[in-house]
Every structure is written in C-alpha cells, then in structure tokens.
Chain A
Amino acid sequence: MNWSSSILARIARATRTLNRIIGAPDYDTYLSHARTCHPDAALMTRDEFVRQRLEDRYSRPGARCC
C-alpha cells in the first residue's frame, strides 16, 4: 500500500466515525450485518434504508434534548 492510498483509507475511516457520531444512517454496517447473518433475506436499497432510518429517528423521544 502506498502513502496516498493509506491517507485515503484514513480519510474514509474518519468520515465513517464522524458520520456515526452525528447519527447519519450507516448503510455499510447494515449491509455487512445482513450479508453475514441473514444471507437469504431481501436487502433494502441504500435509499430505502436511509429513508427508513431517518423516519424512525424523528418519531420517538430520545433523539434530542434541551
């Protein structure tokens, strides 16, 4: 691995960490989970997944405080 690809990998990792902290939908995690644990079940597309996660997040108390 050369230096530029290692920097890119680091940026990708940092991006994922930041995305998780702000609570953005994490499709990759869902995908890898679904592939390992439920290989036969139908997968949601990225669009479906994101829409479903956001709807869920803003429908119950406990996502945001004073």
Chain B
Amino acid sequence: MRRFLSVLSWVLVAALGAGIFGWIALNRGERVNAAWLVVAAVCFYVVAYRFYSRIIAANIFALDANRMTPSERLNDGRDFVPTNRWVVFGHHFAAIAGPGPLVGPTLAAQFGFLPGAIWIVVGVALGGAVQDFVILASSVRRNGKSLGQMAKEEIGPVAGMVALVAILGIMVVLIAVLALIVVNALGESPWGVVTVGLTIPIALLMGGYMRWIRPHQVLEATVMGLLLLVVALYVGRWVAENPALAPTFTLSRTTLAWCIMVYGFLASVLPVWLLLAPRDYLSAFVKIGVVAALALGVLIVLPPLEMPAVSRFVDGTGPVFAGKVFPFCFITIACGAISGFHALISSGTTPKLLMREPDARFIGYGAMLTESMVATLALIAACVLTPGTYFAINAPPSAIGTTVESAALAVANWGFVLDPAEFTALTASVGETKLLSRTGGAPSLAVGMAHLFSNVLGGTTAMALWYHFAIMFEALFILTTLDAGTRVGRFMLQDLLRHISEPLGRVAWYPAVVLSSAMFVSAWGYFLYQGVVDPLGGINSLWPLFGIANQLLAVVALCVGTTVIVKMGKARFAFITIIPLVWLCIVTMTAGYMKIFSPDPKLGFLSHARLVQDQINAGTLPANVKTMAEAGRLLVNDRVDAAVAGFFMISVVIVIAASASEWLAVILGRKPAISTEIPFEPRAVAVGD
C-alpha cells in the first residue's frame, strides 16, 4: 500500500510538470504567470533527481557508503579533508554558479520563454547534472584526479592534450565575453562605474584588514566589505547626480575595455591575499544572497510573463544574436542546462572534500539542478519586461538606431509595442541616461530584477537603487571570474611555456610572471576590444563562440564519462552519457558550421568578411565604420573568429574519434574492460559518525 502511494504521488508530480509545459505550449494569446514555470521546473527536477540520477548512483557506480573516499584515504588537512555534505554542497554551488546562468537565458529570451525554459529543464536533467555527477563520481573513484588527467589516462594522450588546449581557449573566450558584458553595462554610466570601481578598493581594504589589523578574520572582513558595498551604491548615486563629478566618471566603452584589461593584469601579478581572495569571499556571499533574493522576489510577486511563449525570432532574424532557435538556443544557454566548465570543478576541489560516496549524487546532480533553477529564475526576470522594452535594451544600434523614436519604430515593425515616453521614463527611473542598446543581457536582467525587487521593497522610487544593486553584483560575479580566470590562465600558459624555455615556467620569477600575464591578458583583450568596436555589437559573435567552446569542454567531459562507464563493463548503461554527448555534437557542429560558413553575413563570419571586402573594394564603408583601416581590422577579426570556431570543431572531432576507438576496442573485446578506479577499501571508521 505504501509502495502504491509512493508510486502514485511520483506519477502525479511527473504528470503535473508535463501537464504545465503542455498547457503553456498549446496556450495561445493568454499571458502565463511565472508561477507555472517555477512549479513545472521543480516537478521535473524532483522526478529527475529521484529516478534518473538513481541509475547513475545505483546501476553504474554502485556508490557505497562503506567505501573509503579520497578525503579519508589521503586526508592531509589541506586539500583532502572529509567535509559535511551540506558544506560541500554550498562550496560546490558557489563555485559552479556565476554570471553564466544569468546571462544566457536572458539572451535566449529573444526566442520567447518556452524554448529556453524547456532546454534549461530537460538539458539539465539529461545533460548538465549527469555530466557533473558522472565526472564527480569518476574523480572520487580515482583519488580526485582532474578532468585533464582523466582524459589522458582514460582516452589517450591526444584527448588529454586537446582537453588542455580547449580549457585555455575557453578561458580566453569566456573572459573576453564576460568583460564585454561589464563594459556594455557600465559604458556612459557614472553611477555604475563608481559603484563597481569602488569594489576594488573595498577588496584591497579587506585584504589589508585580514593581513594586518585582524589577521585571518575572514568573516569580519567580509561583513565589513558587504556594508561598504551598500555605501558604494550610494556614493555612485551621489557622483552621478553631481554635475561636476559625473562627466569625469562617464567613460566610453573603449576606455572601460582598457581599464578592465589593466585590472585583469594587476589581479594576475599582485599577491592573491590582497585582491583575489577578498573579492572571492565577498562574491560568494553576494551570490548566495542574490540567488535567494531572486527566488523570493519571483515567489512573492508571481509576475506574469510578458514575452510570448515562442517569438517570431525562432526563424533566425532576431536582433539580440543571429541564428535560428536550433542550434543557437542550445549554444546560448550553456550554464544552467549543461556547462563543460563544471567538469573542472567536479574534478577539482569537490571530490577531495566528499566524505561519503553517496553524497556525490546530492552534490553532483543536486547542485546542478539548483543552478538550473537559477537559470529559470533569470529567464523569468528577463521575460517580466514587455517585449518592446526587452528588445530596446538588448538589440544593437544597427537594428534599432540610436534614438528612442527609431527604436519604437523598429520594435513596431517586429509586432511589439514600445512607447517612447514610457521608455524614457524607465531610463530615468533606473538612474541612467541611456538604456537603449545596452547589449549583453546584464542591464535587461537588472531592469527585470529591479522591477521585481521594487515591487517587494521600496516601490518605484527604489528602482534606481535596485537597478544599480543588480548591476553591481553582476559585475562583481563577472570580475571575480575574470580576475581568478586570468591568474589561472597565466599559470596554464606558464605550464606550456615551460616546454619552450624553462625559466618562463617559474611561477615566482617576476619577468616570467609579467610576460605570461601580459600574453594572456592580450589574448582575451583582443577579443574584448574587437567586441567593443564591432558594428554588429560584439555579443553577436562572441557569445556563440563562448557557447561552442563551453559545449566542447562538455563533449570532452562526456567522452571521459562514457569511457569510464564502458571500461567498468557497464556499456549497457552508457546511454546515460551518450544521449547528451550525441545531442551536443549535433548542436556544436551545426552551430560551428553556421557561424563559419552561413551565407547570411549577420550569422556567418566568412560571408561577413566577404561583404566587408566587397565594400572596401567598392570604396564604400560598412555602417558605423569610419576609416578604411577600421574596415580592414573588421576583416581580420571575422577571419580570426572563423578560425577559432573551426579550431573548436576540429577538437570535437579529434576527441570523439579517439574516444570511439577506445569504446569499440573494449566492446569488441580487443581490449580488456579494466577500470582504472582505486579498488574497494572499507572505511576506517564506522558509518554514521
């Protein structure tokens, strides 16, 4: 009887989730409340967790609470420390969640909310959470080995090398596109510049406090930092309203791009205790706080979704970024559905902290479901704006012109409504002089969040504060990823340079540190600068490149996972990693091919280059381009982008080919199915302590 009730209740939960999605999909014309989306997503998550993740936990790995974990076997009080599962969950979640799940869904909202919502929910259950969990469990069974090491040992040295270079390539594109988002959010905005700029001295102050005033009092310093962030918010407003100071801090986007490059360089060469660590602590708290606030805001306000379920832009003519819903919805939303970068964390710190094997399910699969929920909430926050407002903020000037009137006209042509007076009032109410064409997703998400938060607390007068609060924390996340990423990139680069000249690999030798930092910063700085001056708005070319790169890393991770499963002799369960693997291959290859070869110059890099070349030959210049030299640079940029996309595609092919030959060899019996995992050892202490 109890069994029957349990089956019945699970069937009801599953039916509820599926029913809501079906109803939303078939419903036409009626506005849908965000609550339905939240309920449907939660139903899917609990069903996926209960049933799908069980296959991985029980049938594939047979996770065993009595089996010794690396944290116990290698306990050194430093890297390997057996840790409470909730603490590990928090740590893991804070590490995987960043700006990605906020920005991707916001951009993908141009297709309407349904394509993004379905991909976020289905993608995480069958893809992202599976990847994180399988890699975490594989790493736990191998003493906490990293993804690169596992790729090398499980698949072969070629795959290991590709993984290494892919990680470096992804970091370059990732940092560039994140920096571009900050630049677009802060350009011509003195309030934003001052508030975000002040987070740097605040971090330095915290660093000094933890070193000299109250050594090692991390929480004290963080609380102080959080209070100072609020002060920075008000200082920003004061400067923006001060006619003498405001122009000084009204920076152009190119100036900001240079500032961010200098910041990245300094973060890489300065001692970590001074800048990186304090920023990281601050960001971890703000992250968890904001995610909770966003969830509360949506649950209290229960806003209706103004965006249609499916917009006309699924046909590929969208202004936010070019390309049809397939494959570009699946490239645009990476974090939140499946993100290859997570495999680095699942094979980084987390497996070294895990106390008991079965916790891997809760942490690997569960934390990713939580991140997916964050992506769903971000999608909701973007879709509470009217479509007219959304497109006015997210479309580049080449699509909507530079005045509110021209934007209203363009938006009307798309079949949406934008009232110029209302939009001007909205711009003023968030304390900005310009909201038009603030591409990159961060500003429209901030407007959506300010809309939600001010409904709960403060009313319309608080819109401006909430907007800049949202911009501040988005920039805080992004800059924390950017500075830590630049430093890690510098170390990886030095690791490669070591093979050319030994002294260049010395991580404490100043000339080598400066040189390799400068090299890495110029690599992402190049793409950033290119994005800032791109007449199509750099997001259009950079975000898809980042998506493809991130999915490539997911392909590597899923190949490692599949190889591990096949070598365990569990080939009949390999569908678990092969389903997302096949899907990602189709998506990345199609998207990569289209980005390179599409005849539409808005989409294809090469056809855009041809267009520019024709214009140069004819003696005319592309729109928004002033000199011949600039046009020439556009040509180079297009070709570099095409080459980068091509490089990622070739890498996918190499990894797949290398893995498939391993699988075939094992399945056909040419190679014995020998798992490389550490053999079973019972735990030294009793279970349940």
Chain A contacts to B: CB under 8 angstroms? 15, 17-27, 29-34, 37, 46-47, 50-66
Residues of chain B within 8 A of A37, CB atoms compared:
75, 77
CB pair A29 B81 closer than 8 Å: yes
Interface centre among A19, A24, A25, A32 (most CB of B within 10 A): A24
B87-A61 in contact (CB<8A): no
Q: Contact check, A47 vs B87: say whether CB atoms are below 8 A apart.
A: no
A19 and B97 in contact (CB under 8 A), knowing A33-B75, A51-B273? Answer: no
CA distance A31 to B375 in the complex (A): 40
In the complex, residue of chain A having the shortest beta-carbon distance to the beta carbon of B334: A66
Selecting from B421-429, B480-488, B668-676, the interface stretch reads B480-488
Given A20-B87, A20-B91, check contact A66 B341 (CB 8 Å): yes
Which residue of A has the minimal Cβ distance to B174? A66
B167–A22 touching, CB < 8 Å: no
How many whole Å from B206's CB to the nearest CB in chain A? 12
Q: Can you name 19 A-B pairs with beta carbons within 8 Å?
A: A17-B87, A20-B87, A21-B94, A21-B284, A22-B222, A22-B285, A25-B216, A29-B77, A53-B78, A59-B487, A61-B348, A62-B348, A62-B349, A63-B348, A64-B480, A64-B484, A65-B95, A66-B481, A66-B550
Q: Mark B441-485, 1 if CB is under 8 A from A, else 0.
A: 000000000000000000000000000000000000000110011
A65 near B272: Cβ-Cβ < 8 Å: no
Q: Flag if A18 contacts B219 (CB, 8 Å).
A: yes
Report whether A63 and B95 are in contact in the complex, using a CB–CB cutoff of 8 Å: yes
Hey, which bits of chain B sit against chain A, CB under 8 A?
A: 75-79, 81, 83-84, 87, 90-91, 94-100, 146, 167, 171, 174, 178, 215-216, 218-219, 222, 272-273, 276-277, 280-281, 284-285, 334-335, 339, 341-342, 344-345, 347-349, 480-481, 484-485, 487-488, 491-492, 507, 550
Question: B484 contacts A34, CB within 8 Å?
Answer: no
Chain A positions within 8 Å of B281 at CB level: 22, 24
CB distance from B70 to the nearest CB of A (A): 15
Q: How far is the CB of B491 from chain A (nearest CB, A)?
A: 5
Q: Are B488 and A58 interface neighbours, CB within 8 A? A: yes
Which of chain B's residues have a CB closer than 8 A to the CB of A55?
Answer: 272
- Given A60-B488, A65-B345, A66-B481, check contact A22 B77 (CB 8 Å): no
| Contact (A63, B178) CB under 8 Å given A22-B94, A23-B284, A58-B272 | no
A22-B280, A64-B98 known; A34-B77 Cβ under 8 A: yes
